[in-house]
Structure 1
Protein backbone atom coordinates (compact mmCIF):
# COMPACT_ATOMS: atom_id res chain seq x y z
CA UNK A 1 0.00 0.00 0.00
CA UNK A 2 1.42 3.40 -0.99
CA UNK A 3 2.23 5.94 1.73
CA UNK A 4 0.04 9.08 2.03
CA UNK A 5 0.59 12.45 3.64
CA UNK A 6 -1.44 13.59 6.60
CA UNK A 7 -3.64 15.74 4.39
CA UNK A 8 -4.35 12.74 2.17
CA UNK A 9 -5.19 10.66 5.21
CA UNK A 10 -7.54 13.32 6.52
CA UNK A 11 -9.29 13.89 3.21
CA UNK A 12 -9.42 10.28 2.03
CA UNK A 13 -12.84 9.02 1.07
CA UNK A 14 -13.52 5.94 3.20
CA UNK A 15 -16.71 4.30 4.18
CA UNK A 16 -18.80 6.14 6.81
CA UNK A 17 -18.21 3.47 9.44
CA UNK A 18 -14.42 3.90 9.37
CA UNK A 19 -14.74 7.70 9.14
CA UNK A 20 -16.82 7.78 12.30
CA UNK A 21 -14.25 5.70 14.15
CA UNK A 22 -11.24 8.02 13.48
CA UNK A 23 -12.57 11.47 13.97
CA UNK A 24 -9.64 13.67 14.99
CA UNK A 25 -9.70 16.83 16.92
CA UNK A 26 -7.96 19.99 15.80
CA UNK A 27 -5.28 19.38 18.42
CA UNK A 28 -4.62 15.92 16.99
CA UNK A 29 -4.34 17.35 13.52
CA UNK A 30 -1.97 20.05 14.72
CA UNK A 31 0.17 17.47 16.53
CA UNK A 32 0.33 15.22 13.49
CA UNK A 33 1.41 18.10 11.27
CA UNK A 34 4.15 19.05 13.73
CA UNK A 35 5.24 15.42 13.76
CA UNK A 36 5.38 15.43 9.96
CA UNK A 37 7.52 18.59 9.93
CA UNK A 38 9.84 17.08 12.51
CA UNK A 39 10.17 13.89 10.48
CA UNK A 40 10.98 15.88 7.34
CA UNK A 41 13.66 17.79 9.24
CA UNK A 42 15.24 14.56 10.47
CA UNK A 43 15.17 13.17 6.94
CA UNK A 44 16.79 16.34 5.55
CA UNK A 45 19.41 16.22 8.32
CA UNK A 46 20.48 12.67 7.50
CA UNK A 47 20.43 13.37 3.78
CA UNK A 48 22.79 16.29 4.39
CA UNK A 49 25.05 14.09 6.52
CA UNK A 50 25.07 11.49 3.77
CA UNK A 51 26.12 14.10 1.20
CA UNK A 52 28.87 15.31 3.54
CA UNK A 53 30.11 11.75 4.04
CA UNK A 54 30.16 11.17 0.28
CA UNK A 55 32.05 14.44 -0.23
CA UNK A 56 34.54 13.48 2.49
CA UNK A 57 35.03 10.08 0.86
CA UNK A 58 35.69 11.75 -2.51
CA UNK A 59 38.18 14.16 -0.92
CA UNK A 60 39.95 11.21 0.74
CA UNK A 61 40.12 9.35 -2.57
CA UNK A 62 41.59 12.39 -4.31
CA UNK A 63 44.07 12.87 -1.47
CA UNK A 64 45.25 9.25 -1.69
CA UNK A 65 45.55 9.50 -5.48
CA UNK A 66 47.53 12.74 -5.24
CA UNK A 67 49.79 11.30 -2.55
CA UNK A 68 50.47 8.23 -4.68
CA UNK A 69 51.23 10.43 -7.69
CA UNK A 70 53.64 12.57 -5.68
CA UNK A 71 55.36 9.46 -4.34
CA UNK A 72 55.77 8.07 -7.87
CA UNK A 73 57.14 11.40 -9.09
CA UNK A 74 59.60 11.49 -6.20
CA UNK A 75 60.70 7.92 -6.96
CA UNK A 76 61.15 8.83 -10.63
CA UNK A 77 63.21 11.90 -9.73
CA UNK A 78 65.46 9.81 -7.47
CA UNK A 79 65.84 7.17 -10.18
CA UNK A 80 66.72 9.79 -12.80
CA UNK A 81 69.29 11.31 -10.44
CA UNK A 82 70.88 7.91 -9.91
CA UNK A 83 70.97 7.22 -13.64
CA UNK A 84 72.48 10.65 -14.23
CA UNK A 85 75.16 10.00 -11.61
CA UNK A 86 75.94 6.60 -13.15
CA UNK A 87 76.15 8.05 -16.67
CA UNK A 88 78.34 10.91 -15.44
CA UNK A 89 80.66 8.45 -13.69
CA UNK A 90 80.87 6.30 -16.80
CA UNK A 91 81.56 9.34 -18.97
CA UNK A 92 84.23 10.47 -16.53
CA UNK A 93 85.85 7.02 -16.63
CA UNK A 94 85.82 7.05 -20.43
CA UNK A 95 87.38 10.51 -20.49
CA UNK A 96 90.05 9.38 -18.03
CA UNK A 97 90.74 6.29 -20.15
CA UNK A 98 91.02 8.45 -23.26
CA UNK A 99 93.36 10.81 -21.43
CA UNK A 100 95.53 7.87 -20.35
CA UNK A 101 95.60 6.54 -23.91
CA UNK A 102 96.55 9.97 -25.22
CA UNK A 103 99.37 10.23 -22.69
CA UNK A 104 100.60 6.77 -23.65
CA UNK A 105 100.46 7.74 -27.32
CA UNK A 106 102.48 10.88 -26.61
CA UNK A 107 105.02 8.84 -24.64
CA UNK A 108 105.35 6.33 -27.49
CA UNK A 109 105.72 9.09 -30.06
CA UNK A 110 108.38 10.81 -27.96
CA UNK A 111 110.20 7.52 -27.52
CA UNK A 112 110.11 6.84 -31.26
CA UNK A 113 111.32 10.37 -31.92
CA UNK A 114 114.21 9.87 -29.52
CA UNK A 115 115.07 6.56 -31.16
CA UNK A 116 115.15 8.28 -34.54
CA UNK A 117 117.36 11.04 -33.19
CA UNK A 118 119.76 8.66 -31.47
CA UNK A 119 121.47 6.32 -33.89
CA UNK A 120 121.20 2.75 -32.60
CA UNK A 121 124.29 0.64 -32.02
CA UNK A 122 123.21 -1.88 -34.64
CA UNK A 123 123.37 0.86 -37.26
CA UNK A 124 126.87 1.84 -36.14
CA UNK A 125 128.01 -1.78 -36.32
CA UNK A 126 126.49 -2.24 -39.75
CA UNK A 127 128.25 0.90 -40.97
CA UNK A 128 131.55 -0.31 -39.52
CA UNK A 129 131.12 -3.71 -41.14
CA UNK A 130 130.31 -2.03 -44.45
CA UNK A 131 133.36 0.19 -44.24
CA UNK A 132 135.53 -2.86 -43.50
CA UNK A 133 134.43 -4.52 -46.72
CA UNK A 134 131.75 -6.85 -45.35
CA UNK A 135 128.32 -7.17 -46.94
CA UNK A 136 125.61 -4.80 -45.78
CA UNK A 137 122.49 -6.40 -44.24
CA UNK A 138 119.54 -6.33 -46.59
CA UNK A 139 116.36 -4.57 -45.42
CA UNK A 140 113.26 -6.75 -44.93
CA UNK A 141 111.29 -7.46 -48.07
CA UNK A 142 108.09 -5.56 -48.64
CA UNK A 143 104.86 -7.51 -48.94
CA UNK A 144 104.08 -8.40 -52.53
CA UNK A 145 100.46 -9.26 -53.23
CA UNK A 146 100.22 -12.46 -55.26
CA UNK A 147 97.45 -13.57 -57.62
CA UNK A 148 94.17 -14.57 -56.02
CA UNK A 149 93.66 -18.32 -56.11
CA UNK A 150 90.37 -19.43 -57.63
CA UNK A 151 89.72 -23.14 -57.89
CA UNK A 152 87.17 -25.85 -57.20
CA UNK A 153 87.56 -25.36 -53.44
CA UNK A 154 86.74 -21.66 -53.54
CA UNK A 155 83.80 -22.20 -55.90
CA UNK A 156 82.36 -24.90 -53.65
CA UNK A 157 82.78 -22.60 -50.64
CA UNK A 158 80.98 -19.71 -52.34
CA UNK A 159 78.17 -21.99 -53.51
CA UNK A 160 77.69 -23.37 -49.99
CA UNK A 161 77.59 -19.93 -48.36
CA UNK A 162 75.26 -18.33 -50.90
CA UNK A 163 72.93 -21.25 -51.65
CA UNK A 164 73.05 -23.60 -48.66
CA UNK A 165 73.49 -21.13 -45.81
CA UNK A 166 71.67 -18.29 -47.60
CA UNK A 167 74.52 -15.96 -46.70
CA UNK A 168 74.84 -12.43 -48.02
CA UNK A 169 77.55 -9.82 -48.59
CA UNK A 170 80.20 -12.43 -49.41
CA UNK A 171 83.69 -10.90 -49.64
CA UNK A 172 87.26 -12.18 -49.79
CA UNK A 173 88.97 -10.52 -46.84
CA UNK A 174 92.52 -11.83 -47.14
CA UNK A 175 94.70 -14.41 -48.83
CA UNK A 176 97.78 -15.22 -46.79
CA UNK A 177 100.22 -17.91 -45.82
CA UNK A 178 99.53 -19.71 -42.55
CA UNK A 179 102.59 -19.02 -40.42
CA UNK A 180 103.77 -21.10 -37.43
CA UNK A 181 102.74 -18.27 -35.12
CA UNK A 182 99.16 -18.71 -36.40
CA UNK A 183 99.09 -22.31 -35.16
CA UNK A 184 100.62 -21.94 -31.70
CA UNK A 185 98.44 -22.62 -28.69
CA UNK A 186 100.09 -19.83 -26.73
CA UNK A 187 99.23 -17.30 -29.46
CA UNK A 188 95.67 -18.57 -30.03
CA UNK A 189 94.91 -16.06 -32.79
CA UNK A 190 94.84 -15.57 -36.53
CA UNK A 191 96.29 -12.23 -37.58
CA UNK A 192 95.15 -10.42 -40.72
CA UNK A 193 97.41 -7.41 -41.43
CA UNK A 194 95.51 -4.49 -42.89
CA UNK A 195 98.12 -3.92 -45.60
CA UNK A 196 97.45 -7.46 -46.88
CA UNK A 197 93.65 -7.26 -46.99
CA UNK A 198 91.81 -7.65 -50.26
CA UNK A 199 89.01 -5.45 -48.94
CA UNK A 200 88.37 -3.36 -45.88
CA UNK A 201 84.65 -2.99 -46.58
CA UNK A 202 83.43 -6.13 -44.82
CA UNK A 203 82.53 -4.21 -41.64
CA UNK A 204 79.52 -2.02 -40.95
CA UNK A 205 79.89 1.52 -39.63
CA UNK A 206 78.97 0.43 -36.09
CA UNK A 207 81.46 -2.46 -36.22
CA UNK A 208 84.23 -0.12 -37.36
CA UNK A 209 83.39 2.26 -34.52
CA UNK A 210 83.61 -0.59 -31.98
CA UNK A 211 86.93 -1.87 -33.32
CA UNK A 212 88.42 1.64 -33.30
CA UNK A 213 87.52 2.03 -29.62
CA UNK A 214 90.72 2.49 -27.61
CA UNK A 215 89.21 1.13 -24.39
CA UNK A 216 90.45 -2.40 -23.74
CA UNK A 217 87.88 -5.21 -24.12
CA UNK A 218 85.39 -2.76 -25.63
CA UNK A 219 86.87 -3.07 -29.13
CA UNK A 220 85.72 -6.65 -29.79
CA UNK A 221 82.96 -8.09 -31.97
CA UNK A 222 81.47 -11.55 -31.56
CA UNK A 223 81.65 -13.49 -34.84
CA UNK A 224 81.27 -17.04 -36.13
CA UNK A 225 84.11 -18.82 -37.95
CA UNK A 226 83.37 -21.78 -40.24
CA UNK A 227 85.79 -24.18 -41.89
CA UNK A 228 85.66 -24.07 -45.68
CA UNK A 229 86.07 -27.78 -46.36
CA UNK A 230 83.52 -29.78 -44.37
CA UNK A 231 81.40 -26.72 -43.41
CA UNK A 232 80.65 -28.55 -40.14
CA UNK A 233 83.07 -26.85 -37.76
CA UNK A 234 81.59 -23.51 -36.64
CA UNK A 235 83.27 -21.83 -33.67
CA UNK A 236 82.30 -18.51 -32.04
CA UNK A 237 85.24 -16.12 -31.73
CA UNK A 238 85.97 -12.46 -31.23
CA UNK A 239 87.25 -10.08 -33.87
CA UNK A 240 89.42 -7.25 -32.63
CA UNK A 241 92.06 -4.82 -33.88
CA UNK A 242 95.67 -4.75 -32.70
CA UNK A 243 97.79 -1.66 -33.26
CA UNK A 244 101.36 -2.89 -33.71
CA UNK A 245 104.53 -0.86 -34.08
CA UNK A 246 104.66 -1.08 -37.86
CA UNK A 247 101.17 -2.16 -38.86
CA UNK A 248 97.59 -2.70 -37.74
CA UNK A 249 96.09 -6.19 -37.69
CA UNK A 250 92.59 -7.55 -37.56
CA UNK A 251 92.71 -10.56 -35.23
CA UNK A 252 90.44 -13.57 -34.73
CA UNK A 253 90.99 -14.75 -31.18
CA UNK A 254 89.72 -16.56 -28.04
CA UNK A 255 89.07 -19.96 -29.69
CA UNK A 256 91.24 -19.87 -32.79
CA UNK A 257 93.59 -22.65 -31.62
CA UNK A 258 90.60 -24.90 -30.95
CA UNK A 259 89.35 -24.19 -34.48
CA UNK A 260 92.77 -24.82 -36.04
CA UNK A 261 93.22 -28.04 -34.06
CA UNK A 262 89.93 -29.38 -35.42
CA UNK A 263 90.99 -28.51 -39.00
CA UNK A 264 94.76 -29.03 -38.83
CA UNK A 265 94.65 -31.77 -41.48
CA UNK A 266 94.03 -29.19 -44.19
CA UNK A 267 95.12 -25.96 -42.44
CA UNK A 268 98.79 -26.88 -42.60
CA UNK A 269 101.62 -24.54 -41.68
CA UNK A 270 102.92 -22.59 -44.70
CA UNK A 271 99.76 -23.41 -46.67
CA UNK A 272 97.96 -20.61 -48.47
CA UNK A 273 94.59 -19.82 -46.95
CA UNK A 274 91.74 -17.50 -47.73
CA UNK A 275 89.44 -15.84 -45.21
CA UNK A 276 85.99 -14.96 -46.54
CA UNK A 277 83.43 -12.80 -44.76
CA UNK A 278 79.67 -13.08 -45.10
CA UNK A 279 76.55 -12.33 -43.12
CA UNK A 280 73.87 -14.68 -41.93
CA UNK A 281 70.84 -13.01 -40.36
CA UNK A 282 72.91 -9.79 -40.24
CA UNK A 283 75.58 -11.49 -38.07
CA UNK A 284 79.18 -11.20 -39.23
CA UNK A 285 80.68 -14.61 -40.09
CA UNK A 286 83.97 -15.83 -41.55
CA UNK A 287 85.00 -18.91 -43.50
CA UNK A 288 88.62 -20.11 -43.51
CA UNK A 289 89.76 -22.42 -46.29
CA UNK A 290 93.08 -23.77 -47.56
CA UNK A 291 93.45 -23.03 -51.28
CA UNK A 292 97.05 -24.22 -51.79
CA UNK A 293 98.96 -26.82 -49.84
CA UNK A 294 102.50 -26.00 -48.72
CA UNK A 295 105.27 -26.80 -51.18
CA UNK A 296 107.91 -29.15 -49.78
CA UNK A 297 111.44 -27.83 -50.03
CA UNK A 298 112.52 -31.07 -51.69
CA UNK A 299 109.90 -30.60 -54.41
CA UNK A 300 110.67 -26.94 -54.92
Structure 2
Protein backbone atom coordinates (compact mmCIF):
# COMPACT_ATOMS: atom_id res chain seq x y z
CA UNK A 1 0.00 0.00 0.00
CA UNK A 2 1.32 3.40 -0.93
CA UNK A 3 1.95 6.00 1.77
CA UNK A 4 -0.92 8.19 0.56
CA UNK A 5 -3.34 5.26 0.75
CA UNK A 6 -2.19 4.45 4.27
CA UNK A 7 -2.74 8.02 5.37
CA UNK A 8 -6.19 7.99 3.81
CA UNK A 9 -7.17 4.87 5.79
CA UNK A 10 -6.06 6.25 9.15
CA UNK A 11 -8.58 7.56 11.65
CA UNK A 12 -8.59 11.35 11.83
CA UNK A 13 -8.51 12.00 15.58
CA UNK A 14 -9.37 15.66 14.99
CA UNK A 15 -12.84 14.59 13.79
CA UNK A 16 -13.88 12.29 16.63
CA UNK A 17 -17.62 11.94 17.13
CA UNK A 18 -19.83 10.55 19.87
CA UNK A 19 -20.11 7.23 17.99
CA UNK A 20 -16.33 6.76 18.08
CA UNK A 21 -16.45 6.75 21.87
CA UNK A 22 -19.67 4.85 22.42
CA UNK A 23 -18.85 2.00 20.02
CA UNK A 24 -15.75 1.29 22.07
CA UNK A 25 -17.44 1.48 25.44
CA UNK A 26 -16.22 4.99 26.34
CA UNK A 27 -18.83 6.98 28.23
CA UNK A 28 -18.83 10.72 27.56
CA UNK A 29 -21.28 11.65 30.31
CA UNK A 30 -21.12 11.15 34.05
CA UNK A 31 -23.72 9.42 36.25
CA UNK A 32 -25.89 12.57 36.17
CA UNK A 33 -25.80 12.68 32.35
CA UNK A 34 -23.56 15.73 32.43
CA UNK A 35 -20.66 15.99 29.95
CA UNK A 36 -17.22 15.04 31.23
CA UNK A 37 -14.99 17.90 32.32
CA UNK A 38 -12.42 19.20 29.87
CA UNK A 39 -9.59 17.34 31.64
CA UNK A 40 -11.49 14.03 31.79
CA UNK A 41 -12.48 14.43 28.15
CA UNK A 42 -8.82 14.92 27.22
CA UNK A 43 -7.90 11.72 29.06
CA UNK A 44 -10.70 9.86 27.29
CA UNK A 45 -9.41 11.05 23.90
CA UNK A 46 -5.92 9.82 24.84
CA UNK A 47 -7.30 6.41 25.75
CA UNK A 48 -9.32 6.26 22.54
CA UNK A 49 -6.24 7.18 20.49
CA UNK A 50 -4.39 4.23 22.03
CA UNK A 51 -7.30 1.98 21.05
CA UNK A 52 -7.19 3.27 17.47
CA UNK A 53 -3.46 2.48 17.37
CA UNK A 54 -4.06 -1.14 18.35
CA UNK A 55 -6.88 -1.41 15.82
CA UNK A 56 -4.69 -0.07 13.02
CA UNK A 57 -2.01 -2.61 13.87
CA UNK A 58 -4.50 -5.48 13.78
CA UNK A 59 -5.85 -4.30 10.43
CA UNK A 60 -2.33 -3.99 9.03
CA UNK A 61 -1.49 -7.48 10.29
CA UNK A 62 -4.60 -8.91 8.60
CA UNK A 63 -3.78 -7.06 5.37
CA UNK A 64 -0.25 -8.46 5.36
CA UNK A 65 -1.61 -11.95 6.02
CA UNK A 66 -3.98 -11.70 3.06
CA UNK A 67 -1.15 -10.51 0.81
CA UNK A 68 1.02 -13.47 1.85
CA UNK A 69 -1.82 -15.88 1.10
CA UNK A 70 -2.24 -14.39 -2.37
CA UNK A 71 1.50 -14.68 -3.05
CA UNK A 72 1.55 -18.27 -1.82
CA UNK A 73 -1.30 -19.20 -4.14
CA UNK A 74 0.49 -17.55 -7.06
CA UNK A 75 3.85 -19.19 -6.36
CA UNK A 76 2.43 -22.52 -5.14
CA UNK A 77 4.84 -22.47 -2.21
CA UNK A 78 4.96 -20.88 1.23
CA UNK A 79 6.33 -17.37 1.49
CA UNK A 80 8.23 -16.84 4.75
CA UNK A 81 7.76 -13.52 6.46
CA UNK A 82 10.46 -11.74 8.38
CA UNK A 83 9.85 -11.90 12.11
CA UNK A 84 11.41 -10.82 15.33
CA UNK A 85 10.76 -12.50 18.68
CA UNK A 86 9.92 -10.77 21.93
CA UNK A 87 10.80 -13.16 24.73
CA UNK A 88 8.54 -11.54 27.31
CA UNK A 89 5.15 -12.22 25.72
CA UNK A 90 5.97 -15.16 23.39
CA UNK A 91 4.50 -13.33 20.43
CA UNK A 92 5.85 -12.75 16.92
CA UNK A 93 5.88 -9.31 15.36
CA UNK A 94 6.69 -8.40 11.76
CA UNK A 95 9.90 -6.43 11.35
CA UNK A 96 8.33 -4.05 8.90
CA UNK A 97 5.93 -2.62 11.51
CA UNK A 98 6.57 1.04 12.10
CA UNK A 99 8.88 1.82 15.02
CA UNK A 100 6.27 4.03 16.57
CA UNK A 101 3.63 1.34 16.77
CA UNK A 102 6.06 -1.25 18.15
CA UNK A 103 7.23 1.19 20.81
CA UNK A 104 3.68 1.59 22.14
CA UNK A 105 3.22 -2.14 22.63
CA UNK A 106 6.75 -2.90 23.78
CA UNK A 107 6.58 -0.26 26.50
CA UNK A 108 4.46 -2.69 28.50
CA UNK A 109 5.53 -6.02 27.00
CA UNK A 110 9.28 -5.50 27.54
CA UNK A 111 8.88 -3.90 30.94
CA UNK A 112 10.70 -5.93 33.59
CA UNK A 113 8.35 -8.09 35.65
CA UNK A 114 8.92 -7.56 39.36
CA UNK A 115 8.56 -10.30 41.95
CA UNK A 116 5.24 -10.83 43.66
CA UNK A 117 5.21 -9.12 47.07
CA UNK A 118 6.35 -11.53 49.77
CA UNK A 119 3.29 -10.97 51.97
CA UNK A 120 1.00 -11.77 49.05
CA UNK A 121 2.93 -14.94 48.25
CA UNK A 122 2.70 -16.04 51.89
CA UNK A 123 -1.05 -15.46 51.86
CA UNK A 124 -1.42 -17.61 48.75
CA UNK A 125 0.71 -20.33 50.37
CA UNK A 126 -1.51 -20.26 53.47
CA UNK A 127 -4.52 -20.82 51.20
CA UNK A 128 -2.80 -23.85 49.61
CA UNK A 129 -2.52 -21.95 46.35
CA UNK A 130 -0.10 -23.00 43.62
CA UNK A 131 0.88 -22.51 39.98
CA UNK A 132 1.42 -18.75 40.30
CA UNK A 133 1.72 -16.96 36.93
CA UNK A 134 2.06 -13.33 35.90
CA UNK A 135 -0.88 -12.42 33.65
CA UNK A 136 -0.14 -8.77 32.88
CA UNK A 137 1.92 -5.85 34.14
CA UNK A 138 0.53 -2.49 33.10
CA UNK A 139 0.00 1.12 34.02
CA UNK A 140 -3.63 1.85 34.87
CA UNK A 141 -5.37 3.97 32.24
CA UNK A 142 -8.03 6.61 32.67
CA UNK A 143 -10.74 4.07 31.83
CA UNK A 144 -9.33 1.60 34.38
CA UNK A 145 -9.74 4.05 37.25
CA UNK A 146 -12.80 6.10 36.27
CA UNK A 147 -15.91 4.82 38.08
CA UNK A 148 -18.08 5.29 34.98
CA UNK A 149 -16.32 2.38 33.25
CA UNK A 150 -16.20 0.03 36.29
CA UNK A 151 -13.62 -2.35 34.85
CA UNK A 152 -9.90 -3.01 34.38
CA UNK A 153 -8.90 -3.99 30.87
CA UNK A 154 -6.49 -6.84 30.13
CA UNK A 155 -5.48 -6.49 26.44
CA UNK A 156 -4.75 -9.90 24.95
CA UNK A 157 -1.56 -8.69 23.24
CA UNK A 158 -0.08 -7.67 26.60
CA UNK A 159 -0.73 -10.97 28.40
CA UNK A 160 2.54 -12.53 29.62
CA UNK A 161 1.33 -16.10 30.33
CA UNK A 162 -0.98 -17.33 27.58
CA UNK A 163 -1.72 -20.54 29.51
CA UNK A 164 -3.02 -18.89 32.68
CA UNK A 165 -6.42 -20.18 31.53
CA UNK A 166 -7.05 -23.87 30.92
CA UNK A 167 -8.31 -24.93 27.51
CA UNK A 168 -11.77 -25.49 28.95
CA UNK A 169 -11.78 -22.02 30.52
CA UNK A 170 -10.66 -20.44 27.24
CA UNK A 171 -13.49 -22.12 25.35
CA UNK A 172 -16.02 -21.01 27.95
CA UNK A 173 -14.89 -17.37 28.09
CA UNK A 174 -13.72 -16.88 24.48
CA UNK A 175 -16.20 -18.87 22.42
CA UNK A 176 -19.33 -19.13 24.55
CA UNK A 177 -19.27 -15.64 26.05
CA UNK A 178 -19.21 -17.01 29.56
CA UNK A 179 -17.87 -15.29 32.63
CA UNK A 180 -15.99 -16.50 35.71
CA UNK A 181 -16.03 -15.27 39.32
CA UNK A 182 -12.55 -16.09 40.64
CA UNK A 183 -11.40 -15.45 44.17
CA UNK A 184 -9.49 -12.15 44.06
CA UNK A 185 -6.72 -10.89 46.34
CA UNK A 186 -6.49 -7.10 46.41
CA UNK A 187 -3.23 -5.14 46.88
CA UNK A 188 -4.28 -4.63 50.52
CA UNK A 189 -4.52 -8.47 50.80
CA UNK A 190 -8.28 -8.23 51.30
CA UNK A 191 -10.00 -11.17 49.62
CA UNK A 192 -13.10 -10.72 47.46
CA UNK A 193 -14.57 -11.88 44.16
CA UNK A 194 -14.69 -10.17 40.77
CA UNK A 195 -16.16 -11.10 37.42
CA UNK A 196 -13.63 -12.08 34.72
CA UNK A 197 -14.92 -12.04 31.16
CA UNK A 198 -14.07 -11.17 27.56
CA UNK A 199 -15.50 -8.15 25.81
CA UNK A 200 -15.85 -7.54 22.08
CA UNK A 201 -15.15 -3.93 21.15
CA UNK A 202 -16.46 -2.56 17.86
CA UNK A 203 -13.85 -1.13 15.49
CA UNK A 204 -15.24 2.09 14.07
CA UNK A 205 -17.74 1.77 11.23
CA UNK A 206 -16.59 -1.71 10.17
CA UNK A 207 -18.10 -5.03 11.18
CA UNK A 208 -14.79 -6.03 12.75
CA UNK A 209 -14.13 -6.04 16.47
CA UNK A 210 -11.21 -6.51 18.84
CA UNK A 211 -11.27 -8.46 22.09
CA UNK A 212 -10.12 -7.63 25.57
CA UNK A 213 -10.42 -9.42 28.90
CA UNK A 214 -11.82 -7.36 31.76
CA UNK A 215 -12.22 -7.48 35.53
CA UNK A 216 -15.57 -5.98 36.48
CA UNK A 217 -18.51 -6.17 38.93
CA UNK A 218 -16.73 -4.98 42.06
CA UNK A 219 -13.75 -3.32 40.41
CA UNK A 220 -14.77 0.16 41.57
CA UNK A 221 -14.65 -1.08 45.17
CA UNK A 222 -11.09 -2.32 44.60
CA UNK A 223 -10.07 1.07 43.17
CA UNK A 224 -11.54 2.92 46.15
CA UNK A 225 -10.33 0.60 48.92
CA UNK A 226 -6.76 0.46 47.58
CA UNK A 227 -6.50 4.12 46.49
CA UNK A 228 -5.52 3.15 42.96
CA UNK A 229 -5.17 5.95 40.43
CA UNK A 230 -4.34 6.53 36.80
CA UNK A 231 -0.67 5.84 36.05
CA UNK A 232 -0.16 3.33 38.88
CA UNK A 233 1.79 0.29 37.73
CA UNK A 234 0.05 -2.93 38.73
CA UNK A 235 0.53 -6.65 38.21
CA UNK A 236 -2.24 -9.19 37.79
CA UNK A 237 -1.32 -12.72 38.88
CA UNK A 238 -3.15 -16.01 38.50
CA UNK A 239 -2.93 -19.00 40.79
CA UNK A 240 -4.93 -22.13 41.53
CA UNK A 241 -6.67 -23.49 44.60
CA UNK A 242 -7.96 -27.03 44.03
CA UNK A 243 -7.54 -26.39 40.29
CA UNK A 244 -9.88 -23.37 40.45
CA UNK A 245 -8.70 -20.09 38.90
CA UNK A 246 -7.86 -17.33 41.39
CA UNK A 247 -6.41 -13.87 40.73
CA UNK A 248 -4.32 -11.40 42.71
CA UNK A 249 -3.47 -7.75 42.03
CA UNK A 250 -0.27 -6.17 43.33
CA UNK A 251 1.03 -2.63 42.96
CA UNK A 252 4.62 -2.01 41.87
CA UNK A 253 6.35 0.33 44.31
CA UNK A 254 7.32 3.76 42.98
CA UNK A 255 11.05 3.07 43.38
CA UNK A 256 10.70 -0.08 41.25
CA UNK A 257 8.65 1.87 38.76
CA UNK A 258 11.50 4.29 38.14
CA UNK A 259 14.51 2.01 38.45
CA UNK A 260 13.30 -1.45 37.58
CA UNK A 261 13.21 -1.29 33.80
Structure 2 unmatched runs, 5+? 15-97, 204-208
Give SS of 2:117's match.
helix
2:110 to 143, 146, 168: 146
Quick check: 2:193–2:218 contact (8 Å CA) kept in 1?
Answer: yes
Tell me, yes or no, if structure 1 residue 210 matches structure 2 residue 167: no
1:212 counterpart SS class: helix
Does the Cα contact within 8 Å between 2:134 and 2:236 map onto a contact in 1? yes
Query: 1:295/1:175 Cα in 2 relative to 1: closer, same or farther (>3 Å)?
Result: closer
Alignment of 1:242-253 (within 5 A): 242-244=199-201, 245=203, 247-253=210-216
Aligned residues: 159
Equivalent position of 2:194 in the other structure: 237
Contact 1:194–1:247 (CA under 8 A) maintained in structure 2: no
C-alpha distance in structure 2 between counterparts of 1:195 and 1:121, whole Å? 21
Cα distance between partner residues in 1 of 2:10 and 2:105: 27
Would the alpha carbon gap of residues 293 and 180 (structure 1) be closer, same or farther in structure 2, given more than 3 Å must change?
A: farther
175, 182, 202: which one pairs with 1:223? Answer: 182
Contact 1:212 1:241 in 2 (8 A): yes
* Whole-Å separation in 1 of the counterparts to 2:218 and 2:159: 22
The 1:294/1:117 distance shift into structure 2, 3 A limit, reads same
1:169: Cα distance to partner? 1.5
Q: Give the 3 Å change call, closer, same or farther, for CA 282–271 of structure 1 in structure 2.
A: same
Deviation per CA, 1:47-69, whole angstroms, max 9, x where unpaired?
Answer: xxxxxxxxxxxxxxxxxxxxxxx
**CA distance change for structure 1 residues 295 and 183 in 2, over 3 Å: closer, same or farther?**
farther
Greater RCO, CA 8 A, separation 6+: 2
- By how many angstroms is 1:295 displaced? 10
Establish whether residue 263 from structure 1 lines up as the match of residue 220 from structure 2. Answer: no
> What is the rounded CA distance, in whole Å, between the counterparts of 2:198 and 2:154 in structure 1?
9
Structure-1 separation of matches of 2:244 and 2:11: 49
Cα displacement (A) at 1:122: 6.5
Aligned counterparts of 1:150 and 1:293: Cα–Cα separation in 2: 12
RMSD: 3.2
Cα separation, partners in 2 of 1:159 and 1:249, compared to 1, 3 Å: same
CA distance in 1, matches of 2:237, 2:181: 16
Q: TM-score under structure 2 normalisation?
A: 0.53
Give the equivalent residue in structure 1 for 2:254: 293
| 1:178 maps to 2:135 | no
Residues 224, 181 of structure 1: alpha-carbon distance in 2 compared, 3 angstrom cutoff: same
Deviation for aligned residue 1:121: 9.1
Are the equivalent residues in 2 in contact too, given 1:240–1:251 (CA < 8 A)? yes
1:63-142 equivalences in 2 (<5 Å):
119=8, 141-142=103-104
Per-residue CA deviations over 1:6-43 (Å, capped at 9, x if unaligned) read: xxxxxxxxxxxxxxxxxxxxxxxxxxxxxxxxxxxxxx
The superposition leaves residues 153-200 of structure 1 with CA deviations (integer Å, 9 ceiling, x where unpaired) of: 623322331x22210121110000011210111110010101111111
Q: 1:122 to 1:159 in 2, by over 3 A?
A: closer
How far apart are the structure 2 equivalents of 1:285 and 1:175?
17
- How far does the alpha carbon of each residue in 1:55-87 deviate from its partner, in whole angstroms, 9 at most, with x for none? xxxxxxxxxxxxxxxxxxxxxxxxxxxxxxxxx
TM-score (norm 1): 0.46
Tell me the secondary structure at the aligned position of residue 143 of structure 1. Answer: helix
